[in-house]
Amino acid sequence: MNHVLVPHFCRKGLLGLTAGLAICLATATPVFAEDSNLPSLGGVGGGLISEQQEAAIGQQVLQSIRRSTPEIGDPLVLDYLSTLVHRLVPYAQLQNRDLKMVVIDSDEINAFAVPGGVIGVNGGLFLNAKTEQEFASVMAHELGHLVQRHFARRMERQEQNAPLAMAGMLAGIILSAVTKSDVGIATIAGSQAAAVQNMLQYSRANEREADRVGLDMLEAAGFDPEGMPEMFEIMMRQSRLQGGEALEYLQTHPLTENRIADTRNRANQYPQREYDDSLEYHLVRARIMVHYAQTPEKAVEMFQEYVGRKDALPPPSARYGLAVAKLAADDAPGAEKILKDLLKDYPGRITFQVTLAETLTREKKTDEAIALMDEALRRNPGNYPIRYQLGDSLYAGNHAQRAAEVYGKLANDYPEKAYIWLKLSDAEGQARNIVGVHRARAEYYLLMGDQEAAIRQLREAQNKAPPGTPTHEIVTQRLSQITRAMHEDQQ
């Protein structure tokens, strides 16, 4: 099986950052747009922090997130987030549009965008944004920070401290992005702490810039600009309910009543029209609501009430949430009935099909689940959630070789998703392809930042692959590439 070679990552920890910046590169395609009143930021290499260095920082952030915080890997959630963000991207003056999405498993409101095109969101944002317009406004605001390169600009103003302080700054932003801001700061000793605190807290001018860019993006992409002040008001109310303690998001994004009023005034200046949420947003939100329910049984009770009330959630999402809750509560037959009824009303709806296949797989009806996903894939070639669930159903049904093929193609298409490499490794093991097991595990360890473990896995694969075969040659080349990169990183 031919795997795409993923970029190697900087070695464990932050000591190799300076060397890593010269190694972990990403291609940026310049995009030209009409002039605006916002400041010009220059192009690649136009300041202390180049686009290539930003890409390296982004890779380091992803590596740290994988190692230090739980993520939500739900393919339906990730696919929705990617679709929404890429609906906004054509209206963002981004030089690097190769964005990576991360969903942090936390019920607090938070979202972040860091150099290298990393977009992160906590599951809690889905919980608290009751409309798609509100949710999209946060994503647009974060893209605004990337468009204006706020983080890079702040680092450039710290030039007198670079590159010595760069590793500390990076450590702070990684930990603050995925936990609490004070945790990130607490890890940095001495005089660097103040510098990092300054780096993490966007100024009011930065926030106004990101608001303006985000509002333009929202309107151009067909979202309601009013969603931004509405979401800010939700955050302000939540902060007050917590006794004045700033929400995780507000610790790095200062919010004032004046700023809310300003965004509302700006939103009112756009042409008035009707805006409708997509059904998909509310289906994904229902999945998140089940995920964070106190117990699956409580989730069943909650959605049963929503179905009965008819006005709490859009009707299909209430019924769908009940099905997801029943599946979580081990009532797969109950979930199956609801999902099949939903598919009668919404034939071909991918989210309902994927969840039904998940349910059938749980009931050990794997042949039915596989047939359902095969048909769905014929109608929707390349769809990520369908392919992911097909792999899971094949693996559960002991169709190991085909499961490995599905996971292998997914790993080729989404090489940054570490958990897919683990699934591929398991499927290769079930298929008794030991060389494939070691190759997949090597890629997983690379994504986790452990190059030495990756090299050990590839040496095992090299020893087990027959000499002179294409597989042996591919493994040898990959081993040489990673070994060379590790040596460069240590210099």
Which residue of the set 74, 211, 336, 489 is catalytic?
211
Residue partners of 68: CB distance under 8 A and separation at least 6? 174, 175, 178, 179
Which residue of the set 74, 142, 209, 450 is catalytic?
142
**142 labelled catalytic:** yes
Nearest to 144 by CA among 93, 80, 101: 93
Annotated binding site for Zn(2+): 141, 145, 207
What is each CA distance from 251 to 200, 244, 291, 473, in whole angstroms?
9, 12, 25, 51
- CB of 143 closer than 8 Å to CB of 94: yes
Rg (alpha carbons) of the chain, rounded to whole number: 23
Tokens at residue 215, please? 């509002």
What is the pairing mode between strands 111-114 and 100-104? unpaired
| Cβ atoms within 10 Å, residue 304 | 15
**159 labelled catalytic:** no
Nearest to 125 by CA among 289, 252, 262: 289
What stretch of H or E contains 121?
A: strand 118-122
Nearest to 388 by CA among 434, 42, 380, 245: 380
Nearest to 89 by CA among 225, 214, 182: 214
Annotated binding site: 141, 145, 207
> Which residues does the annotation mark as catalytic?
142, 211
